């Protein structure tokens, strides 16, 4: 209904960010904005964005509640899918870093690990952007294995 408005706002916000940040950082944040809006439309309650561990060694793009599940969401965005879906860039090392941030967040919030889920949102820029939501996309590997 208000798609044109959100696209206009995203465009203005993106131009401002590109003037201050690198192109990749601005593009990534735009993807997070689109994913945030997508998840809210699905009924998720977003509780954090770009949450980092205190040491700064690990980060998760979005933290949200989906009913009883605390969901840690990695957002991947690309201009095209010429080289495959954006989520293909999330390898074992990235999963370990996401899980490290998730464990820290869950521990601080007093959330049982059994309530945690990991989703991925792919964003392909276009008019309008194409959004693919992968629920329960991965089980984090342990750091030692």
Q: Where are the domains of the chain?
A: 3-134
pLDDT tens digits for range 53-111: 988 889 999 999 999 999 999 999 998 888 888 999 899 999 999 999 999 999 999 99
- How does residue 127 score in pLDDT terms, banded at 50, 70 and 90? confident
User: Is the per-residue pLDDT at 1 higher than 90?
Assistant: no
Contact 9, 32 (CB under 8 A): no
Quote the pLDDT of residue 56: 87
* Count of positions (residues) in the chain: 145
Pairing relation of β-strands 59-66 and 45-52?
A: antiparallel
The mean predicted confidence, pLDDT, of the chain is 88
Q: Where are the beta strands (DSSP E) in the chain?
A: 45-52, 59-66, 69-78, 116-124, 130-134
Give the mean pLDDT of 12-26.
67
**Separation between Cα atoms, residue 22 and residue 77, nearest integer Å:** 15
Q: Which fold has domain 3-134?
A: Trna Endonuclease; Chain: A, domain 1 (3.40.1350)
Contact 56, 36 (CB under 8 A): no
Quote the pLDDT of residue 126: 87
- pTM reported for the whole predicted model: 0.83
């Amino acid at each position: 209904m208000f798609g044109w408005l959100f696209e206009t706002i995203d465009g203005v916000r993106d131009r401002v960010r590109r003037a201050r940040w690198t192109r990749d950082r601005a593009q990534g944040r735009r993807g997070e904005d689109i994913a945030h809006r997508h998840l809210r439309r699905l009924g998720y309650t977003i509780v954090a964005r770009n949450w980092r561990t205190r040491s700064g060694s690990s980060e998760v793009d979005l933290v949200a509640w989906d009913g009883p599940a605390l969901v840690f969401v990695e957002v991947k965005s690309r201009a095209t899918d010429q080289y495959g879906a954006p989520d293909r860039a999330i390898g074992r090392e990235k999963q370990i870093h996401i899980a490290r941030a998730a464990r820290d967040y869950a521990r601080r919030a007093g959330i049982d690990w059994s309530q945690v889920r990991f989703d991925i949102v792919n964003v392909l820029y276009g008019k309008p952007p194409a959004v693919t939501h992968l629920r329960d996309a991965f089980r984090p590997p342990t750091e030692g294995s």
